[in-house]
Amino acid sequence: MKRQILTLAMLVMTCIAASAQTQYTREFTDSKFMEKAQKWVNNGCWRNGFCKASAHYTVNPGEFWFQYHKNKKQWKAMFKWLAKTDLTALPAGKHPIEGTTLVASIEDTTNGELDSRQCEMHREHIDFQYVVKGTERFGLVDHLSSIGPKDVYKPDVQHYWYDLSKARFFDSTPEQFFLFFPDDWHIAKVATEKADQNIRVVVIKLDYVR
């Protein structure tokens, strides 16, 4: 029964996305694989000791599953580092993750008004974004109504014009982390309705394996 409900929910979501003519992430047509991937995300066998936060429900389970299994050494090292590190006490700045080429950026920063934030995507990397203090708002941008790339100001960053009415926004708190794959065009550090816009975030860019 649970499997039937999950399959039905996935089919409903697919139909809604199709009827609305929007696309926010990479689409997988194999519903059995997506069910398997979602169960894998939920059971947490990827955590490697990291229990401070769970994957936000917008994280693409198919992409997460594929990328983890293509590059286990990097993912395991990242989660191990996150598990053993006091992320609230660590000085702001860049911190290499032992045994890898990964670098964790600890940022003490503030959210800003939406019109001051750009929509971006990365071709060669995956953004791991985790708020350890405060609340950060993220936006996900519809591909079909967006125009781009606007420009390229770094080797792996491109910007898009987007239809605000079709953008989706989610708040990030210390209980959850986000993963933005190349097909997740996103906006970060958007102001919330809270009085305090100060945040501490951890950003780690993992390699995207094609």
How many domains does the chain divide into? Answer: 1
- What pLDDT does 194 receive? 97
Mean predicted confidence (pLDDT) in 73-99: 97
Confidence of residue 2 (pLDDT cuts 50, 70, 90): very low
Spatial distance between the Cα atoms of 185 and 134, rounded to a whole number of angstroms? 23
- What pLDDT does 155 receive? 82
Of residues 1 and 80, the one with the higher pLDDT is 80
- What pLDDT does 38 receive? 98
- What pLDDT does 120 receive? 94
- What pLDDT does 7 receive? 47
pTM: 0.88
Q: Has residue 3 got a pLDDT over 80? A: no
- What pLDDT does 148 receive? 81
- Which domain does 123 fall in, by range? 2-207
Which amino acid is located at 140 in the chain? L
Pair type for strands 176-180 and 125-133: antiparallel
Confidence of residue 16 (pLDDT cuts 50, 70, 90): very low
Please classify residue 34 by burial: count the beta carbons closer than 10 Å to its beta carbon, then call 0-12 exposed, 13-18 middle and 19+ buried.
buried
- What pLDDT does 149 receive? 74
pLDDT tens, residue by residue, 98-154: 999 999 999 999 999 999 999 999 999 999 999 999 999 999 999 999 998 766 767
Task: Report the CATH number that the domain containing residue 200 is assigned in CATH.
Answer: 2.60.120.370
Spatial distance between the Cα atoms of 166 and 80, rounded to a whole number of angstroms? 37
Mean predicted confidence (pLDDT) in 171-179: 98
Which single residue is written with the structure tokens 């229990």?
51
pLDDT tens, residue by residue, 29-44: 999 999 999 999 999 9
Q: Which residues pair with 185 in a beta bridge?
A: none
Nearest CA to 83 out of 196, 177, 209 is that of 177
Spatial distance between the Cα atoms of 82 and 84, rounded to a whole number of angstroms? 6
- What pLDDT does 150 receive? 66
- What pLDDT does 92 receive? 98
